[in-house]
Chains A and B, each alone.
Chain A
């Protein structure tokens, strides 16, 4: 077989990237790792099962969704906007983290992760959930169920999930507007 390259342009973490010549058929995770040096989206299974590779796809209508970069071709993202785990924390000019996102902060304070390999996928999934709840708040008694449905596909081998889920619940309950009836 021969390798056919074609140009790819997209927006990653708010910055325009490309056009870069990228082989057709290359998966997005390989593009992120090998072409733009973003390795925070982790390869877990390569078949879209474990969700360690999940990034956020920002749709033109203002909605966001999880997308599995290990089973989605890089050229699918032509002209699209994505966020990877590297997007969330605010950094100073030296690149040092000066402020974490609320989800990251909650994961940190809850000791949510151990090895941390799955953490980027959880950060992105929980971020998408929070953004969804901003648009579509959930009843207070459905919060746990909503979190479970949003995160259940994500594999974590170290923690047993409890501290991830508790952290997300805390953010959901304490962020105004995510739960119907206002802040719990």
Chain B
């Protein structure tokens, strides 16, 4: 889920926290383990031979039903909290076309009245308001029209559970509780964001571009007129935007008046709003301890640091009424598929606590409330025009218009629209493109980060388009794809060259010879004959999805204790994907063993002070040059667990920290042992190079030297006062920041931008004196830093992983039901950190994609979830019978070499199956749907 945050949010960094001491004790951390009865993370049981873990390190806690989720925690579980737990729920407006005029709780009678009611008037009086990112009207004041369906108007707090439960049940579905005034019509607002990416390539895909976003600039509108963008006039030699529009005009002319041998394909695609349906409904449990001016928050979040920053912003605004000197945040394992990244529930939870009369207040949504408020996937409307040379079968130009419905609050809508547009090329090379994307504001529920992040929408449509184009050209769909596939070194639609080897062609070649594809014609004939009333079809789609945001940052700390314990601390948080396991495993590359003591969601980085300022996406090069003179500065602090960022980006920081410990701790320790004695010891007669170092069964060897046990190396490293711990900070703007450091007097360039070191127990007094942080680290000031130029922002994406999926299905003519009979996926993901986690992601992603293609649908407006009546009884999440649980297969391309970095796959896995199903339906019944999901009703309509 790449995120280019172009909102007006003023980025809040560590400095904003000044005045409030922040303490974070994540679940699984030592501090939190002390609060709960059990330690939740168990050491990795693994085999050093194959590098595979036997099970997830959070597995025992999860399989025994331990308190893993924020939702499980109650006040009584927190030793330092009062025992009594209060509860709250929120009243919401279910109409957004008239003014809100208050509420009526008569239905509750006398007995079920709340102990405390919080309204917009309270918030205004007390200076309580949303952090800027979330917009205005946290609770809607009387007299205003709700910005969207489900807009919160009041919080009801109860100090007794039974009263809370029965009051909530009593008011459920009773819209008449909310009073409305004059009909105003829905609010009309400017779009949340608008972008345009124009590219005209050179003579070949490898020549310099004539014009592109990376080389020149994206195009932005001059202004809005009637809430629509007004683009610059095209001028060949004008300003960058005018130049872009000049080339956009030429592309338009060419599509309108194509050469005789061009096919100009023209389609409009629609894809629906869905709920990510994370099974843990949104919740928070917070306590404001006025006597000690302390605020405590138990929150499920993909980005605990964002919660810390935004909570600090909120409480600083209200400090006159609710002074807070200490903020305690307990992030928990959670699940969101994006929807718990930058979502507003933690802050409603915080407000509940402020008005909780000194009691901890739990705000835990039921599924109806979750549907009513959780971050949604954007509905997209896409108009594609694609030109193909009929003689060569090569695609020539792609003009796309994208409209993403962002709903009531901006959230990440601008970047979702942008990412959707920049992904539309899918796996193909286009010599020319003009993509215009707009994220509109509407009265729908907020849409934001959701697995796929705009690319599911646009790439699935592209895969439907290329399949249909191939048919029109009379070509095999995979042959047509192969003819146009983007190859290594070619440019994307922003003019950037993707990182490394692009292997979509290998995925396609494998699909082409797979029996599902190769035998499809014969099997269709046989199946249709044997199964009257059913029609067989096979579909294929292949996409490559970016991972990361263009401003990826993280901290990692790796330490080896004298007893040999390897500890890992990381800013990343577990969201179900298994990152806690894979990161623990990742250190084994350098240290021979996985981390046995692992901590995630860590936000206390006193051992490596890093500061940040400005917006990494918007700052000028001059500004970056100026502020980066501060050796502690980085363009970003720490990314939430989202955007499929763990495998590639988190692993980078984890492994760089481990590498520093190896290169400056274990390796010199080994050399000291090998070199001991007359004539340079056993190493003397040999050529010893660090690149020959290998771990075998927990022992280190190199170039014929004696294999030394890990424990012996650790002991020696400590004895010699070598590096036994490293904290690193990293930043990536489609390439890594690098910096020069002096380690033990030697210059070293590393792909990190911050570094601190811990020395072994035998360190010299001078080194010990330098290790002045709380955790005993020596903070190194970098000598020089090489941060990727801000121009790289215009690349929009450079990292991709590819997946192709073949689907066999049967369309039941009478019912219109689509039965998925089998599917096979082929994935390219670099080196796998954990094959079990990778295949689990693939299986889960395919299931979610099947849901998107065939089952899941939410109306955007009055009939949709904003009305508070949606639940799983009518929102069909795929079950086992829907996903071919026993037959499905998948394969992973071997890495080019074992040095391939691991790539993120959590989002790409769900996308090709969407296009493959729609293409399979076309094969089955000869009709190409362009509107998702393809429901039985739509099929019945076509077959009628």
When distances are taken between beta carbons in the complex, the residues of chain A under 8 Å from B323 are none
The smallest C-beta distance from A152 to any residue of chain B, in angstroms, reads 5
The smallest C-beta distance from B592 to any residue of chain A, in angstroms, reads 23
User: Which bracket fits the contact residues of B?
Assistant: 35 or more
A62 to B888, CA, bound (A): 37
A85 to B845, CA, bound (A): 27
B883 at the interface (CB under 8 A from A): yes
A162→B885 contact, CB < 8 A: yes
B706 at the interface (CB under 8 A from A): no
Convert B158-194 into 0s and 1s, putting 1 for each residue whose CB lies closer than 8 angstroms to a CB of A: 0001110110001000000000000000000000000
B54 at the interface (CB under 8 A from A): yes
B681 at the interface (CB under 8 A from A): no
- In B543-595, the 8 Å CB interface with A consists of 575-578
B63→A115 contact, CB < 8 A: no
The smallest C-beta distance from B305 to any residue of chain A, in angstroms, reads 21
B65→A43 contact, CB < 8 A: no
Q: Which of A37, A119, A154, A161 contacts B62 (CB 8 A)?
A: A119
Residue of B nearest to A122 (CB): B63
A101 to B827, CA, bound (A): 34
A142 at the interface (CB under 8 A from B): no
B530 at the interface (CB under 8 A from A): no
A6 to B178, CA, bound (A): 34
Residue of B nearest to A113 (CB): B62
B872→A162 contact, CB < 8 A: no
The smallest C-beta distance from A163 to any residue of chain B, in angstroms, reads 6
Q: Given A148-B881, A162-B885, do A116 and B63 touch, yes or no (CB 8 Å)?
A: yes
When distances are taken between beta carbons in the complex, the residues of chain B under 8 Å from A97 are 38, 60, 64
Contact segment of B218-226, B278-286, B656-664, B717-725 = B278-286
When distances are taken between beta carbons in the complex, the residues of chain B under 8 Å from A117 are 69, 278-280, 335
A86 to B845, CA, bound (A): 29
When distances are taken between beta carbons in the complex, the residues of chain A under 8 Å from B205 are none
The smallest C-beta distance from B652 to any residue of chain A, in angstroms, reads 23
Residue of A nearest to B111 (CB): A2
A21 to B871, CA, bound (A): 31
- In A90-123, the 8 Å CB interface with B consists of 95-97, 100, 104, 107-111, 113-120, 123
A37 to B848, CA, bound (A): 33
B161→A30 contact, CB < 8 A: yes
B59→A157 contact, CB < 8 A: no
A165→B880 contact, CB < 8 A: yes
Q: Which of B65, B74, B333 contacts A120 (CB 8 A)?
A: B65
When distances are taken between beta carbons in the complex, the residues of chain B under 8 Å from A153 are 879
B873 at the interface (CB under 8 A from A): yes
A1→B279 contact, CB < 8 A: no
A85→B872 contact, CB < 8 A: no
Number of A-B contacts (CB under 8 A): 201
Residue of B nearest to A91 (CB): B64
Q: Which of A95, A96, A155 contacts B879 (CB 8 A)?
A: A155
Q: Which of B67, B112, B364, B840 contacts A1 (CB 8 A)?
A: B112
B576→A114 contact, CB < 8 A: yes
A2 to B575, CA, bound (A): 41
A44 to B278, CA, bound (A): 9
A85 to B65, CA, bound (A): 6
A163→B161 contact, CB < 8 A: no
A50 at the interface (CB under 8 A from B): yes
When distances are taken between beta carbons in the complex, the residues of chain B under 8 Å from A114 are 335, 576-578, 840, 844
The dominant DSSP class at the A interface is loop
Q: Given A100-B60, A114-B844, do A50 and B166 touch, yes or no (CB 8 Å)?
A: no
A118→B279 contact, CB < 8 A: yes
A49 at the interface (CB under 8 A from B): yes
A157→B63 contact, CB < 8 A: no
When distances are taken between beta carbons in the complex, the residues of chain B under 8 Å from A33 are 74
A47 to B58, CA, bound (A): 29
A88→B844 contact, CB < 8 A: no
A23 to B872, CA, bound (A): 27
B840→A163 contact, CB < 8 A: yes
Which of B64, B109, B576, B883 has the most A CB atoms < 10 Å from its CB? B64
Q: Which of B56, B333, B335, B871 contacts A49 (CB 8 A)?
A: B871
A88 to B62, CA, bound (A): 13
The smallest C-beta distance from B642 to any residue of chain A, in angstroms, reads 14
- In A130-183, the 8 Å CB interface with B consists of 144, 148, 151-163, 165
When distances are taken between beta carbons in the complex, the residues of chain A under 8 Å from B163 are 3
The smallest C-beta distance from B66 to any residue of chain A, in angstroms, reads 7
B252 at the interface (CB under 8 A from A): no
When distances are taken between beta carbons in the complex, the residues of chain A under 8 Å from B334 are 115
Q: Which of B62, B69, B843, B848 contacts A157 (CB 8 A)?
A: B848
Residue of A nearest to B55 (CB): A108
A26 at the interface (CB under 8 A from B): yes
Q: Which of B109, B576, B883 contacts A115 (CB 8 A)?
A: B576
- In B52-107, the 8 Å CB interface with A consists of 54-56, 58-69, 71-72, 74, 76-77, 85
Q: List 20 A-B contacts (CB under 8 A).
A: A3-B163, A42-B69, A42-B279, A43-B364, A43-B366, A44-B367, A50-B872, A95-B38, A100-B60, A100-B63, A108-B63, A111-B840, A115-B279, A115-B334, A116-B68, A120-B65, A153-B879, A159-B844, A160-B883, A161-B847
Further contacts, 7 of them, CB under 8 A, given A30-B161, A50-B279, A116-B68: A30-B165, A42-B69, A43-B366, A52-B279, A114-B577, A116-B62, A157-B278
Q: Which residues of A contact B (CB under 8 A)?
A: 1-3, 5, 23, 25-26, 30, 33-34, 37, 39-47, 49-50, 52, 84-86, 88-89, 95-97, 100, 104, 107-111, 113-120, 123, 144, 148, 151-163, 165
Q: Which residues of B contact A (CB under 8 A)?
A: 37-38, 54-56, 58-69, 71-72, 74, 76-77, 85, 109, 111-112, 161-163, 165-166, 170, 276-281, 333-335, 337, 364, 366-368, 575-578, 836-837, 840, 842-848, 871-873, 877, 879-881, 883, 885-886, 888
